[in-house]
Amino acid sequence: MAVVKTLEHFGCSVDFPQAQTCCGQPQFNNGYPQEARPLAERMIRVFKNSAYIVTPSGSCAAMIRDHYPELFKDDPAKHQEALDFAARCYEFVEFLTRVLKVDVSKLTLPDPQRFTYHYTCHLRGLGTTGEPCISLLKQLKGASFIPLEKAEQCCGFGGTFAVKYPDISGAIVRDKVQCGQKTGADVMIVNDGGCAMNIGGACHRQHGDFAVKHIAEVLASAIDAGESR
Amino acid sequence: MTAKAAGSSPGSLRHSLPVFNPDFMREAALTSADEALHTALDNSVTKKDYGRRATLAELPDSDALRTLAGDIKRHTLDNLDYYLAQLEANVQKHGGHVHYALGRDDANQLVIDIARQTNSKLIVKSKSMVSEESELNHALEKAGLEPLETDLGEFILQVDNDHPSHIVMPVIHRNAKDIGRVFERYFKVPYTDDPQSLAEMARVYLRQRFNQADMGISGVNFAIADTGSIVLCTNEGNGRMCTSRPRVHVAIMGMEKIIPEMRDLPIFLKLLARSASGQALTQYTNIITGPRRADEHDGPDEFHLIIMDNGRSRILAGDYRDTLRCIRCGACLNACPIYRKVGGHTYGSVYPGPIGALITPLFNGLAEHKHLPHASSLCGACYEACPVKINIPEMLIHMKKDQIDQGIAGFGEKLIFRLWTTGLRYGWTYRLGQFAQRVGMRLLPHKDGWITRLPGPAKGWTAIRDFPQPPKNNFRTLWNQRRVDRGTPEGKR
Ligand code: SF4
């Protein structure tokens, strides 16, 4: 609900079409484009009437933008629909900073906290960097920012990769948790569901000290604090 | 001066690439637990990766340069027959010989033949990945010849019977202590692990051998079609010694190493050293055009260029042509989170890292090296690093699909994906799946909100990390609750 709260705070009206399921990325990435196609069609249909589609997990946005048009390259009508859908689709931070151009400098966290930031890999696919999110953090009152060593190194999630190759994935995410520990931050910002589950799960297993959160959760807590004041 | 083709039977029964480690999973389990290896790799490849970023950032528009380099390579590959003929003619014009080798054994035989014809025995070698492909040293030794690697890293590996684990930094998996013991045995000297002294030992020894050598073998970083030149980029100067001191110089290249014109070269030079090691240029850049001329003081009497196919024309004709753009800079290895944890040998053959994961199955057949396209988190760091913009992640996905189409993927996996998709395709199956998941997960072993053991195919997850327990009220429930509270029907805001 943090995403909804933040978007509404900045003046959007938010809908959640119940018929949506999954964008089909796991199918596509594992070499099953024919299985991904009906899921993509469903998504395009479900969101036909939305002006913007915003997703908190950036890898879904990357899937939609990078691969939906290609899935329908042999069907001109559907290809056009896919392009049109992709053009309306945004990752959460991207939407806040590029479309809404929000100013969060008036928001104050309920308690001061130290943050670090992990660069999730889908940002590469979206052609953006971690900077927009870090600048949001820096604007927030009560937030301090500590850079993460090897921030741009993948956390080792990679969808089915994490399950199929636990040894390799485990070595990579251990490294990520260690780098997180070194920052001494209270919170690591991870703006993707899969990566957050991975880093959070490894941090818990290794008895790490930091929490893993989505930037929307942080913004929503600041908005809440403002509203209760 | 004629061009000779060796080898007549296409696709010899041997694999195109030698296989050193057939068991990927076993090797990966060992290396991903090897903290010392991780530290060594972090200190070298991770640093080089940052060096690459920093030196590329010095260029006015490195992204445009990479696009250009990729386009030049694509154009060359699309017209490879033309440029090969042009290269051949121009090498011959300058007094060199050109030979074509279909398979890797053919390439080795060509070198052996040239050695016999020129009465060569001691052969000094500078680094060449193609010669690793063909296991040239073994073949030469078998033929009674004496090959000697002169790149420091390759020299260490040769005297210790080891294989390179990186395209550019072959000995990256060994530390100074290790190397100290190798040299102690080989040179019969007191043990030292001081890198300076070790390098000096090798230098003194190699210097003397350079002077005695009959033949020098080099790889080729770029072959320039319109001038018939080959370009060598090295940091130790051994390449220059190998190609100028002995009487005979044999250069071996994969047939994709061509660029059309001399004026294309600066584009690639600007990218190669930056991508490989974060240097603006390598210490030595040699442009070699034919053997020594009558009025020149140094250089070999004979120059031979061996152009090896070894499966490349098959790759050229298929869906993976872009892989042949590769200039073997190693940037994708340095950027790769998997490579940083498993090292080079885990990939099983001579080409490790992201590009190796892609081309090893192409060379040896998709049924071989089944794990390679899957053992990737598809993070995209390799694509981002590649100076010729090879979209490795996309091609890995394509390769998984090819595996499925060729019946290489397991039936069980296919079934899982079919069921998964069905679950996501219809509203009721989705809700059923979500419900089952929520109820099921409550039954699993857990600790303060985290599941510690998942069953079945998902057990890999909890082998090394916990899994969040689903919250009591998921987003949909909360959303519906809010909708009811506000009295808005679905679809209205
Ligand atoms: S694939 Fe690209 S990054 Fe990797 S070695 Fe080849 S040229 Fe370099």
B157-166 pLDDT tens trace: 999 999 999 9
Residues B133 and B276 in one domain: yes
pLDDT at B428: 65
Residues B222 and B231 sit within 8 Å (Cβ to Cβ): yes
- In chain A, residues 83-102 whose CB comes closer than 8 Å to chain B: none
Residues B90 and B227 in one domain: yes
Three-state DSSP state, A34: helix
pLDDT at B437: 66
CA distances from A116 to A198, A202, B82 (A): 16, 17, 54
Pairing of strands B450-451, A108-117: unpaired
**Confidence band (pLDDT; 50, 70, 90) for B468?**
confident
* Min Cα–Cα distance to chain B from A133, Å: 19
**Confidence band (pLDDT; 50, 70, 90) for B422?**
low
pLDDT at A26: 74
* Min Cα–Cα distance to chain A from B404, Å: 7
Residues B387 and B275 sit within 8 Å (Cβ to Cβ): yes
Among A122-131, A220-229, B39-48, B313-322, whose mean pLDDT is lowest?
A: A220-229
The number of folded domains in chain B is 2
Contacting residues of A for B406, CB less than 8 Å apart:
none
Cα B109 to averaged position of ligand 1 atoms, centre (Å): 29
Stretch A197-226: mean pLDDT: 88
**Confidence band (pLDDT; 50, 70, 90) for A48?**
confident
How far is it, in rounded angstroms, from Cα A177 to Cα A190?
12
Q: Which of B313, B337, B368 is the last residue of a domain?
A: B313
The model's pLDDT over B443-457, given as tens digits with 9 standing for 90+, comes to 666 777 777 777 776
For residue B335, what is the nearest residue in chain A, using CA coordinates? A153
How far is it, in rounded angstroms, from Cα B169 to Cα B154?
9
The model's pLDDT over B27-85, given as tens digits with 9 standing for 90+, comes to 999 999 999 999 999 989 999 999 999 999 999 999 999 999 999 999 999 999 999 99
Three-state DSSP state, B283: coil
Among A24-28, B114-118, B243-247, whose mean pLDDT is lowest?
A: A24-28
Q: Which of B313, B343, B363 is the last residue of a domain?
A: B313
Residues B301 and B426 in one domain: no
How far is it, in rounded angstroms, from Cα A183 to Cα B87?
55
Q: Which of B313, B348, B375 is the last residue of a domain?
A: B313
How far is it, in rounded angstroms, from Cα B253 to Cα B220?
5
**CA-based radius of gyration for chain B:** 27
pLDDT at B407: 82
Sole residue written with tokens 């584009």: B267
A180 in contact with chain B, both atoms CB, cutoff 8 A: no
Stretch B426-451: mean pLDDT: 67
Contacting residues of B for A214, CB less than 8 Å apart:
none
Phi-psi region of B16 (alpha: psi -120 to 50; beta: other; left: phi over 0): alpha
For residue A158, what is the nearest residue in chain B, using CA coordinates? B377
Closest residue CA from atom 8 of ligand 1: B329
How is domain A106-228 classified at the CATH fold level? Rossmann fold (3.40.50)
Strand partners, B249: B216, B303
Closest residue CA from atom 4 of ligand 1: B332
The model's pLDDT over B81-101, given as tens digits with 9 standing for 90+, comes to 999 999 999 999 999 999 999
Closest residue CA from atom 2 of ligand 1: B386
Residues B24 and B348 sit within 8 Å (Cβ to Cβ): yes
Helix (H) or strand (E) holding B252: strand B248-254
Residue whose CB lies within 8 A of the most ligand 1 atoms, among B326, B338, B347, for a mutation test: B326
Least Cα distance to B467 among B454, B476, B486 occurs for B454
Residue B484 CB neighbours (<10 A): 9
Cα B326 to averaged position of ligand 1 atoms, centre (Å): 5
Contacting residues of B for A28, CB less than 8 Å apart:
397
pLDDT at B363: 95
Q: Which is more confidently placed, B426 or A91?
A: A91
Residues B385 and B49 sit within 8 Å (Cβ to Cβ): yes
Largest CA distance in chain A: 56
Is B379 close to A158, i.e. CB distance below 8 A? Answer: yes
pTM, rounded to two decimals: 0.90
Residues B126 and B219 sit within 8 Å (Cβ to Cβ): yes
Residue A181 has pLDDT above 70, yes or no: yes
pLDDT at B412: 65
A51 in contact with chain B, both atoms CB, cutoff 8 A: no
pLDDT at B38: 94
pLDDT at A59: 77
How far is it, in rounded angstroms, from Cα B215 to Cα B237?
17
pLDDT at A71: 82
Stretch B142-159: mean pLDDT: 97
Average pLDDT, chain B: 89
pLDDT at B443: 66
Provide the residue count of chain B.
Answer: 493
pLDDT at B288: 96
Dihedral (CA of B33, B166, B173, A183) sign: negative
Closest residue CA from atom 6 of ligand 1: B326
Among A158-162, B205-209, B296-300, B306-310, whose mean pLDDT is lowest?
A: A158-162
Among B359-363, B364-368, B436-440, whose mean pLDDT is lowest?
A: B436-440
pLDDT at A53: 82
Q: What range defines the domain where residue B461 resides?
A: 412-486
pLDDT at B109: 97
pLDDT at B431: 65
Least Cα distance to B269 among B236, B235, B230, B221 occurs for B221
Tell whether B324 is covered by a domain. Answer: no
* Min Cα–Cα distance to chain B from A159, Å: 7
pLDDT at B446: 72
Can you give the CATH number for the domain in which B197 is found?
3.40.50.10420
Residues A210 and A187 sit within 8 Å (Cβ to Cβ): yes
Residue B7 has pLDDT above 80, yes or no: no
Helix (H) or strand (E) holding A212: strand A211-213
Tell whether B192 is covered by a domain. Answer: yes
A198 in contact with chain B, both atoms CB, cutoff 8 A: yes
pLDDT at B492: 46
- Chain A / chain B CB contacts < 8 angstroms: 171
Contacting residues of A for B400, CB less than 8 Å apart:
30-31
Residue A77 makes CB contacts below 8 A (sequence gap 6+) with none
pLDDT at A19: 67
Residues A197 and B454 sit within 8 Å (Cβ to Cβ): no
* Min Cα–Cα distance to chain A from B376, Å: 7
Q: Which is more confidently placed, B59 or A20?
A: B59
Residue B2 has pLDDT above 60, yes or no: no
Tell whether B386 is covered by a domain. Answer: no
Stretch A75-90: mean pLDDT: 84
Among A96-100, A199-203, B180-184, B209-213, whose mean pLDDT is lowest?
A: A96-100
Q: Per-residue DSSP letters for B455-473?
A: -GGGHHHHHHS-EEPPPSS
Domain segments of chain A: what residues? 2-97, 106-228
pLDDT at B8: 39
Least Cα distance to A94 among A49, A60, A144 occurs for A60
Percent of chain A with pLDDT over 90: 28
Cα B353 to averaged position of ligand 1 atoms, centre (Å): 9
Tell whether B274 is covered by a domain. Answer: yes
| Maximum mean pLDDT: which of A20-24, A86-90, B451-455 | A86-90
Residues B102 and B213 in one domain: yes
Is A39 close to B421, i.e. CB distance below 8 A? Answer: yes
Q: Per-residue DSSP letters for B96-155?
A: -EEEEESSHHHHHHHHHHHHHHTT--EEEE---HHHHHTTHHHHHHHTT-EEEE-SHHHH
